[in-house]
Structure 1
Amino acid sequence: MSATWLFLIVLALAVAGYVVGRGRALASAGGDSRHLHSLPNYYGINAALFVLVPSLLLLAIWLIVQPVVIESNVQGMIPADSYTGSGELSLIMSDVRRVAEGLNLAVAQGVMSNEAVAGLNADATNIRERLGEVGVALGSDVGPSTLAAAQEYRSQSGTGLWVRNILVLIIAVAGLALAISRTNKEFRARNTVETVVLLLLIGAASIAILTTLGIVLSLIFNTVEFFKLYPAADFFFGLNWAPSFSGRGGASELGVLPLFWGTLYISLIALAVAVPIGLFAAIYLSEYASPLVRGVAKPLLEVLAGIPTIVYGLFALLTVGPLLVSVFGDGGLLGVGWMGGGTAVMTAGLVMGIMLIPFVSSLSDDIINAVPQAMRDGSLGLGATHSETIRQVVLPAALPGIVGAVLLAASRAIGETMIVVLGAGAAARLSMNPFEAMTTVTAKIVSQLTGDADFASAEALVAFALGMTLFVITLALNFLALWIVRKYREQYE
């Protein structure tokens, strides 16, 4: 039984618990809800929560823990001489999982029986070809150790699946029985439900906090490991970015300054496009546009926020880049020869600025509309014109929110990857020329983690150091924005 079917069964038990709990409570009060401590619905919700919460909590924990435990058990079956590092072991375990999934799929489709799967011999059977028949593609042939590990992985997964299903159903039924047995007219169902809901809210908040803490700790630990392998001074003050993976040459040069310069340069161009256009659009829509125009223009602007970034990247690569070359390149319209190719800082910055327009305009529009109408009326009543009221009253009052919108746009620009990869190129350089190809921190994080370096090497761990440094810089920007917001709020509150 899959997790989906198990969830549906538990949900059906919860619905049944709601109906039975509500009916039992009313029956204990002689059908008169006035004799109940709580409203009838609370008794039903109490029974449903006793079914759902413990069983789904167990299911969630099991789905997380089981693969980790099984993989830990199966790893011991891989000969130590078949890999040289954790990176190669991860690749082997990935093949083990794919073979196990392929064997399950072959059994499900009737291509092989469970007995045939158990009797497979890697030396006598082309496992790769057999799994290819059911749509599972493998990059290399399956060796005896990989096949044995996959068979054990599949066996333990099947056993874990049955144990999980039985335990979840037992807990769901036990919760239903306990809730029904406690249901009577004196039972304080409302208090219990509110306590459970409060605990769920605390749990949700704790998950968010712990997730953030986990991200930060993973960055810190891996950054510390990186600085054990590579000098911090060379990383923070190095002017050259030239990672050298194993077998590709000499020592790596991992100076971060070219990457942060590219990130800053592209983000500044993007903000120079997005902030004026977005802010002017927000002012027009909130202060000048008629309801009809606003009702059409605002949704059209917000459509830009729903376009995938890969589409913006293709737009930069296929449209904006060639257009800029036709104007600023050799033989272009201006004949200046500044731009040698379509991938450049200007290309990525312009397209990223277009992408950020709805972030600035939508948030700024909401903030401007939130300014009390009494402030506008007071300004107009004192003889100020409409434009003077906007410049001297509305915008200063809305400035904290506008700063927040710009900060959000800046954070979005700093974290963008696909537009940079397709529009700006991959060259790490320090240059003031906006028509040259450059790259950013996020683009290099992706390239370092998808390279062929072992995860214990400096070439892979540098991605975490880049992420940690970017996190600290973004956090500093947030503190700066909060300081600005507080300063202006003191002035207008």
Structure 2
Amino acid sequence: MNLLVLGILLALIAVAYQFGLRKSRKLAGAGKNTVTLHSRPTYYGAFVALWCGVPAFLIFILWNIVEPTLLKHVVFNQIPQDVLANLDATGRIVLLDRVHAIASGFGVTDQVQSYEMSAAQHYANIEKIGNYAKFAVVVCVALVGLLITQKKVEKDYRARNYVEKITRIGLALCSGVAILTTIGIVLSMLSEALRFFHFVSPIDFFFGTEWNPGFSTSGNASGSYGLLPLLWGTFMVSAVALLVAIPVGLMTAIYLAEYASPRLRAWAKPAIEVLAGIPTIVYGVFALMVVGPFFKEVGDAIGISINATSALTAGVVMGIMIIPFVSSLSDDIITQVPRTLRDGSLGLGATQAETVRKVVLPAALPGIIGAFLLAASRAIGETMIVVLAAGNSPLLHVNPLEAVSTVTVTIVNQLTGDTDFASPQALVAFALGLTLFVITLGLNIVALYIVRKYREQYE
């Protein structure tokens, strides 16, 4: 029913736009300029469409928010009070799901009680009436908005000002949603992290060198919660990844921007960027089944002990994954360097290689560094590759050929399985997430600052 209502609402919006457009053109004399309109006909069409669609859509959203609560009260009113008195919050949710399953026709596996059947029938009837009422209200509001605003389409009506004002408000709301979402994420992590620091001292957490959390059921913090092994493992894997991605990505960008023919560039750049679209779990499986065993065999052949799951394995595959981030961003930045700098260098007798090395790259250096920092933040926050290929060994060592553990892997481990989210064993994941968020946010801010400074220089 919701899809049907939305489809009809979209159709009415399209019709409203055409009504406003045709009436405004009729006022203007169909191009003969018999009347001078304040705004273009498209603004009048958009004005009618907005008043037809926006109020109806807001009612539709509000209805869908309130409807589940009302239906829940309808169900509970049909359940005997002695039954409800014996149910906790979880039991009521289970009962509500059972009634919904019976009403939808899927049924349940065990015996259906008589009060459940009665509640399901009442639920189905009320839901059916509610769907029809929702359809009627939304369509009526849309039609009323269409009729009222169509009458306002006159030569002196400032439709453009109204439409642009609504557009600015919509853009501001979209920006606000993004900002509020970020603030909500930070506050949720911060509140849970503060709860964790009631169990474990921040000094022991941020400067501890041992990670061995206990899994006690008493709610006490047993074991060690040192962050440094995880942080060092994260930086080690990220460093290996950047050692792979930065040279390959930068050289690829230089070739595509300065040496490749337009025909080769037209298919090579999209082909490289396909790497960014491959799911990270695929990279993780590739690292676990192909790259790790390959490195181990190579190590055995030359007499070096290399674990199949290690910082090297995870870092190399992660570096392959972030090559498109480096190459695509660097390519865009290099191509934005003014052509006059190249022509001046070549005119003075420099070769193309010397021009690239001594003129183009220094000019594009701030933007390229920004691309490197964005790639680094992407590498630090990667999860699935290191889950499968790093080895999950939270030890503080400097050998990239051995297994390590990272912050993201530990977050997954601490929140997997039957976990009491009030215990320090689970709350530590929020402290780790907050730490990772601060690190990546700092890298992104520095990268964006450098890129913005570069763009200001060459715009």
Q: TM-score, normalised by structure 1?
A: 0.80
1:253 match: secondary structure? strand
Which residue of structure 2 lines up, in the alignment, with residue 117 of structure 1?
A: none
Match of 1:272 among 239, 243, 246: 243
Structure 2 residue runs of 5 or longer lacking an equivalent are none
**Conserved? CA contact 2:338–2:458, under 8 Å:** no
| Residues 302-352 of structure 1 deviation map (CA, whole Å, 9 limit, x = unaligned) | 121111111101100110011111112xxx21133x134x21111100100
Which residue of structure 1 lines up, in the alignment, with residue 193 of structure 2?
A: 223
How far residue 451 of structure 1 moved from its aligned partner, in angstroms, is 3.0
Match of 1:339 among 306, 317, 324: 306
Which residue of structure 1 lines up, in the alignment, with residue 49 of structure 2?
A: 48
Moved more, 312-321 or 157-166: 157-166
Give me the whole-angstrom Cα distance separating, in 1, the residues matched to 2:47 and 2:260. 51
Match of 1:471 among 434, 437, 440: 437
Give me the whole-angstrom Cα distance separating, in 2, the residues matched to 1:402 and 1:148. 67
Change (3 A) 1:100 1:253: farther
How far residue 241 of structure 1 moved from its aligned partner, in angstroms, is 2.3
Matched, 1:293 2:292: no
Change (3 A) 1:186 1:346: same
Give me the whole-angstrom Cα distance separating, in 2, the residues matched to 1:145 and 1:333. 73
Which residue of structure 1 lines up, in the alignment, with residue 109 of structure 2?
A: 128
| Residues 386-405 of structure 1 deviation map (CA, whole Å, 9 limit, x = unaligned) | 22211111001111111121
Give me the whole-angstrom Cα distance separating, in 2, the residues matched to 1:81 and 1:235. 43
Moved more, 243-252 or 292-301: 243-252
1:279 match: secondary structure? helix
Which residue of structure 2 lines up, in the alignment, with residue 305 of structure 1?
A: 276
1:228 match: secondary structure? coil
Matched, 1:203 2:204: no
Give me the whole-angstrom Cα distance separating, in 2, the residues matched to 1:318 and 1:9. 51
2:198 match: secondary structure? helix
Amino acid at match of 1:464: F
Change (3 A) 1:169 1:464: farther
Moved more, 94-103 or 200-209: 94-103
Amino acid at match of 1:236: F
**Conserved? CA contact 1:321–1:423, under 8 Å:** yes
Give me the whole-angstrom Cα distance separating, in 2, the residues matched to 1:210 and 1:223. 19
Amino acid at match of 2:224: E
Q: TM-score, normalised by structure 2?
A: 0.85
Matched, 1:433 2:399: yes
Match of 1:214 among 184, 208, 231: 184
Matched, 1:184 2:154: yes
Give me the whole-angstrom Cα distance separating, in 1, the residues matched to 2:279 and 2:5. 34
Give me the whole-angstrom Cα distance separating, in 1, the residues matched to 2:372 and 2:449. 14
Q: After the TM superposition, which residues 111-150 of structure 1 pair with which residues of structure 2 at under 5 Å, given as runs?
A: 127-128=108-109
**Conserved? CA contact 2:60–2:138, under 8 Å:** yes
Structure 1 residue runs of 5 or longer lacking an equivalent are 84-88, 113-126, 131-141
2:301 match: secondary structure? coil
Change (3 A) 1:412 1:391: same
Amino acid at match of 1:413: A
Match of 2:143 among 170, 173, 179: 173
Q: After the TM superposition, which residues 327-406 of structure 1 pair with which residues of structure 2 at under 5 Å, given as runs?
A: 327-328=298-299, 332-336=300-304, 338-340=305-307, 342-406=308-372
Give me the whole-angstrom Cα distance separating, in 2, the residues matched to 1:483 and 1:197. 28
1:229 match: secondary structure? coil
**Conserved? CA contact 2:103–2:120, under 8 Å:** no
Change (3 A) 1:457 1:177: farther
Give me the whole-angstrom Cα distance separating, in 1, the residues matched to 2:68 and 2:428. 28
2:405 match: secondary structure? coil
Change (3 A) 1:453 1:317: same
1:436 match: secondary structure? coil
Q: How many aligned positions are there?
A: 452
Give me the whole-angstrom Cα distance separating, in 2, the residues matched to 1:145 and 1:343. 57
Give me the whole-angstrom Cα distance separating, in 1, the residues matched to 2:9 and 2:353. 61
1:186 match: secondary structure? coil
| Residues 355-375 of structure 1 deviation map (CA, whole Å, 9 limit, x = unaligned) | 111111111111111111110
Amino acid at match of 2:166: V
Give me the whole-angstrom Cα distance separating, in 1, the residues matched to 2:413 and 2:454. 42
Report % sequence identity: 51
Match of 2:380 among 400, 414, 424: 414
Change (3 A) 1:489 1:352: same
Give me the whole-angstrom Cα distance separating, in 2, the residues matched to 1:240 and 1:80. 49
Give me the whole-angstrom Cα distance separating, in 1, the residues matched to 2:75 and 2:407. 37
